[in-house]
């Protein structure tokens, strides 16, 4: 049975009616695949911080996270957003279990420095302990994972969900890693490029075809493929047929990255 790691972004989770469609979409996959969901929740975090009049900044796409803020991020991601996704799956009759990188020590993290700068309680993943995933797969229970993680001393870190999904997919050698994004795929000359080989990526960056936040996404996609993941997909969300379509080459509307 193929294993599919699916990363859902915060802006996607927030879209009207999307969680209902996600539940339907996962239901269509479970007959012949084992899907694992890793989620962000940036918009929900920003809303909660605004309610608390807590200002924040980003450095290279990473939210600078102080001790008070990491508690808020954990509350929003591992509490509210995680349970909303689990609830959406249960509503479709899909048996789902929500947890974070802290639980069962799934992700062992350490402090991440951004170009030598301390950005607070932001972590990088050093080790993935897949035993909880194996248990859930054996029992056909769909994991829904918040990327909040811990280090060996028990310090809690905010971890980027793209990074968490990539590390998990590499650890379990997933057949497919799908990034559901707020863009329809990798745009080159304003058109979605349907396929990109890992050997092309640095050239496309050098030539200026790939810019901004898509650069780290594609580099981590190449890293994932080079370290055992079958294919990486970058796509937008259309409807409940999105995941099934993206995993079928002839109907894919996004971008597939492969060796």
User: pLDDT tens digit string along 226-247?
Assistant: 999 999 999 999 999 999 999 9
The domains of the chain are located at 2-258
Q: What mean pLDDT do residues 140-167 have?
A: 95
**What is the per-residue pLDDT for 26?**
97
Q: Using CA atoms, how far apart are residues 50 and 72, in angstroms rounded to an integer?
A: 11
Return the closest-CA partner of residue 164 out of 206, 209, 128: 128
* C-alpha dihedral, 61 to 65 to 70 to 76, nearest 10°: -40
195-197 and 255-258 beta bridge pairing: parallel
Q: How far apart are CA 117 and CA 238, in angstroms?
A: 38
Please determine, for residue 96, whether its predicted confidence score (pLDDT) is greater than 90: yes
Please state the rounded mean pLDDT for residues 158-177: 94
Q: d(Cα 244, Cα 185) in Å, to the nearest integer?
A: 16
> At 191, phi and psi to the nearest 5?
-125, 145
CA distances from 244 to 26, 30, 235 (A): 9, 11, 12
- Looking at residue 13, its pLDDT comes to 78
| 66: alpha, beta or left? (left if phi > 0; alpha if psi -120 to 50) | beta
Query: What DSSP string runs through 139-201?
Result: TT-EEEEE--EE-TT--EEB--HHHHHHHHHHHTT-SEEEEE-SSSS-EETTEE-SEEEGGGH
How high is the mean pLDDT of the chain?
Answer: 91
**Quick one: which of 34, 37, 163, 186 has its CA closest to 98?**
37
Residue 131: which residues within 8 A CB-CB, separation 6 or more? 104
pLDDT of residue 249: 80
Does domain 2-258 fall under CATH 3.40.50.720? My reply is: no
**Positive or negative, the Cα torsion across 180, 186, 192, 195?**
negative
Confidence at residue 106, expressed as pLDDT on a 0 to 100 scale: 98
* pLDDT at position 220 over 90: no
Q: What digits encode the pLDDT tens for the residues 99-131?
A: 999 999 999 999 998 878 888 889 999 999 999
Distance CA 237, CA 12 (A): 8
Mean pLDDT of 186-199: 92
Beta pairing partners, 2: 33
Neighbouring C-beta atoms of residue 104, cutoff 10 Å: 14
Q: How confident is the model at residue 217 (pLDDT cuts 50, 70, 90)?
A: confident
**Range name among 97-101, 139-143, 174-178, 190-194 with the lowest pLDDT average:** 190-194
Count the neighbouring beta carbons within 10 Å of the beta carbon of residue 113. Answer: 11
């Amino acid at each position: 049975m193929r294993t599919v790691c699916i990363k859902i972004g915060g802006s996607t989770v927030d879209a009207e009616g999307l969680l209902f469609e996600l539940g339907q979409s996962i239901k269509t996959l479970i007959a012949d695949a084992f899907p694992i969901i890793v989620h962000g929740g940036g918009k929900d975090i920003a809303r909660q911080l605004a309610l608390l009049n807590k200002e924040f900044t980003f450095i290279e796409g990473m939210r600078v996270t102080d001790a008070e803020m990491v508690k808020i991020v954990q509350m929003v991601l591992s509490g509210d957003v995680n349970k909303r996704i689990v609830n959406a799956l249960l509503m479709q009759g899909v048996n789902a279990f929500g947890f974070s990188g802290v639980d069962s020590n799934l992700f062992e993290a350490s402090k991440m420095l951004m170009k030598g700068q301390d950005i607070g309680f932001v972590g990088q993943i050093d080790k993935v302990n897949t035993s909880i995933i194996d248990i859930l797969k054996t029992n056909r229970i769909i994991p829904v994972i918040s990327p909040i993680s811990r280090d060996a001393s028990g310090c809690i870190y905010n971890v980027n969900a793209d990074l968490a999904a990539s590390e998990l997919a590499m650890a379990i050698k997933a057949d497919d890693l799908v990034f559901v994004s707020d863009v329809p795929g990798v745009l080159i000359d304003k058109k979605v490029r349907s396929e990109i080989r890992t050997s092309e990526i640095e050239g496309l960056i050098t030539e200026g075809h790939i810019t901004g936040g898509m650069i780290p996404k594609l580099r981590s996609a190449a890293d994932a493929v080079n370290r055992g993941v079958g294919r990486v997909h970058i796509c937008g969300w259309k409807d409940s047929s999105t995941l099934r379509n993206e995993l079928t080459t002839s109907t894919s509307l996004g971008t597939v990255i492969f060796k």
